[in-house]
Structure 1
Amino acid sequence: MTEKTFKTLDDFLGTHFIYTYDNGWEYEWYAKNDHTVDYRIHGGMVAGRWVKDQEANINLLTEGIYKVAWTEPTGTDVALDFVPNEKKLNGTIFFPKWVQDHPEITVKYQNDFIPLMEESREKYETYPKMVVPEFAHITYIGDAGQNNEDVISEAPYPELPDDIRNGKYFDENYHRINK
Structure 2
Amino acid sequence: MDKHFDTLADFLGTHFIYTYDNGWEYEWYAKNDHTVDYRIHGGMVAGRWVTDQAAHITMLTPGIYKIAWTEPTGTDVALDFVPNEHKLNGTIFFPKWVQEHPEITVCYQNEHLDEMIAAREKYATYPKLVVPEFATITYIGDAGQNNEAVINEAPYAGMPDDIRAGKFFTADYQRPK
TM-score (norm 2): 0.99
Q: Partners of 1:22 and 1:87 in 2: how far apart?
A: 13
Task: Say if 2:48 is the partner of 1:33.
Answer: no
Q: Partners of 2:127 and 2:2 in 1: how far apart?
A: 41
Structure 2 contact 68–76 (Cα < 8 Å) conserved: yes
Q: Which residue of 2 aligns with 1:132?
A: 131
After superposition, the C-alpha distances for 1:79-124 in whole angstroms (9 at most, x for unaligned) are: 0000000000000000000000000000000000001000000000
Q: Which residue of 2 aligns with 1:63?
A: 62
| Equivalent residue runs for 1:26-175 within 5 Å | 26-175=25-174
**Percent identity of paired positions between Structure 1 and Structure 2:** 79
Q: Partners of 1:108 and 1:5 in 2: how far apart?
A: 34
Q: Partners of 2:18 and 2:3 in 1: how far apart?
A: 17
Q: Which residue of 2 aligns with 1:176?
A: 175
Q: Partners of 2:3 and 2:104 in 1: how far apart?
A: 38
Q: Partners of 1:61 and 1:55 in 2: how far apart?
A: 19
* Structure 2 unaligned spans of 5+: none
Q: Partners of 2:128 and 2:32 in 1: how far apart?
A: 29
TM-score (norm 1): 0.98
Displaced runs of 4 or more, over 3 A? none
| CA-CA distance at 1:169 after TM superposition | 0.4
CA RMSD between the two structures: 0.5
Q: Partners of 2:51 and 2:3 in 1: how far apart?
A: 25
Q: Partners of 1:109 and 1:4 in 2: how far apart?
A: 30
Q: Partners of 1:29 and 1:99 in 2: how far apart?
A: 20
* Structure 1 unaligned spans of 5+: none
Aligned residue pairs, count: 177
| CA-CA distance at 1:3 after TM superposition | 1.3
